[in-house]
Structure 1
Amino acid sequence: MTSKIAITPRSLSGGGHPALSMLTDKGYELVFPAPGQTPSEDALLSSVPGCVGWLAGVEPIPALVLDQAEGLRVISRNGVGVNNIDLAAAERHGIAIERAAGTNARGVAELAIALMLAGFRHVPWSDAMLHQGRWKRRKGVEAEGRVLGIIGCGAIGQTVARIAIGLGMKVLGHDPYPPKGFSPEGYRQASLDEVFEMSDAITLHCPPSENPLIDASVIARLKSGVLIINTARAELLDDEAVLAGLESEKVSCLATDVFREEPPEPSNLLSHDRVIMTPHAGGFTEESVTRATETAVYNLLKVLEQ
């Protein structure tokens, strides 16, 4: 009987990837619960049971699905975050969890910088005005000499820091576990208070906690006109507080690549004309997808073939 492997990342389930041939060459049958889409819980329940491996994306993987996934030995993420997985349930069933750490760092970092520059220069708003036949301008700011605060200084945060320094920015980095040996000129490890109070732009590259990292009390302490970039997790922000910050212009722009639901439901925050959105595309580059897929496949085989 052929062993099955579920493939659920949207970047792979719609059109496949050459790296997946490493699995079929080994005799595995690939199962695609929702080609080109984020699979629903029902789709997972109908497809994952009977699979020995699972190459997973950012879709929620609850205990209910894992409880039904008899025979599943390993979940291999095509990224580093695993907060979408019920880890207690996985441990209870003896399911190994593998991560493709660092593989999408460059793609996410470049998008974070692109969002920052687009916010500094009001690129989406200007484009929208011209498409409407309206010749209107908003005065922007230049990156050189500005302070970028980075919360989360792993592979992505460090890459962001290097690019920002290349733009002439001063960089403050905060991480509860500061990276060893990372101290380029123009970068300084800082407290969370310093990042909040001194940054002209703040970019998030950390996992979510029980409560939002940026809420009304934090926004009150930020520099006036701060730009917030979020390519990490939507739960890091208090949406109502950020909306109030935009309305008061304490926050000049929110640029986000992540949402609580994907695709997101319309909201007052997301419809604001100083919110820039991209559809969770940080790691969706040719290079990042290839690195992440190859690593995820290697990690699957490492567990299944041992």
Structure 2
Amino acid sequence: MMFNFQIEKPKTAPVDYQTLYDFIALGLGPAGMNGALYAKRKGLKTLLVGYDLGGQLNNTSDVDNYLGLGNIDASDMIHKFNTHIKELEVPILSEVKVISIQKYEHFEIALDNGETLKTKTLLYAFGGNPRKLGVPGEYEFASKGVSYCVTCDAPFFKQRHVIVAGGGNSALDAAIDLARLASKVTIVHRSQFKGDQTTVNQLKKMPNVEMFLETQILEVKGEITMTGVQVLDKKTKTERFIEADGIFIEIGHIPNSNLLEGLANLNNSKEIIVDRFQQTNIEGLYAAGDVTDNPNKQIIIAASEGAVAALMATSYINQKGDK
């Protein structure tokens, strides 16, 4: 990944650990940053807390689907977000890790520096990570042919040959979307399809879609960018090389929700269950971004969910008469 400049880290804000905040946003990605921005603009006593500036934006290179910004380098986008936060003087406590979250009369957040923060409302936006294949070359060619987001990166592979790794509904849907743009789509899955049969039938009718089941990806190969994958046919025990310009890995998502286990309701995938107001089952606790059960993991959606959470937290505080 090529960066145009060195991203300036947010300075650690002077924090009074005896202060009861109105709103704390956990996570330095689009959801947490936009939530903190909206809360600050609403006049709430706000703090933004996290470790890595940019969150999951650090796992991509270019963004081409954020309204108003066009095709932008991810590092440039992080810089713009950070600049906006600084211009509005949103307090940031950075490079700290949250150890635990407890709900008493208010929320108490224990940090790895030995301190504890207290807040009336809390936005949990620690995001998640795409599940990796864990094969040689996957890391080396990330953003150089290896992608985990069809919605984000499919336009970059127009009229090219791409591979989709996976056999669930997300992989099948990704293959259909890609087939409309790519010259050829090859689906590689280590077992049988687990997605809906109607979708499988639809894919089988597409002339530019090829399928390899019971096939394991052993390695992503390439030079400057990826050139294909080495696979093992589990039925015949033979290896072969599939030449391709890119691979979309669609084998699941790992939400960073462990700090809320036993506190908030999670689904079977460990995603935080929220309503349309980003409210969890716990009063005053909101979640936004990739850590929630919203199936659409997109930067612009995460940012909007952070805004919704902050606005709802403001209404909650006003209704309680705490402010």
- Which of the five TM-score ranges fits, normalised by the shorter chain? 0.3 to 0.5
Question: Structure with the greater relative contact order (CA < 8 A, sep ≥ 6): 1 or 2?
Answer: 2
Return the TM-score normalized by structure 1: 0.36
**Which structure: greater helix fraction?**
1
**Which structure: greater strand fraction?**
2
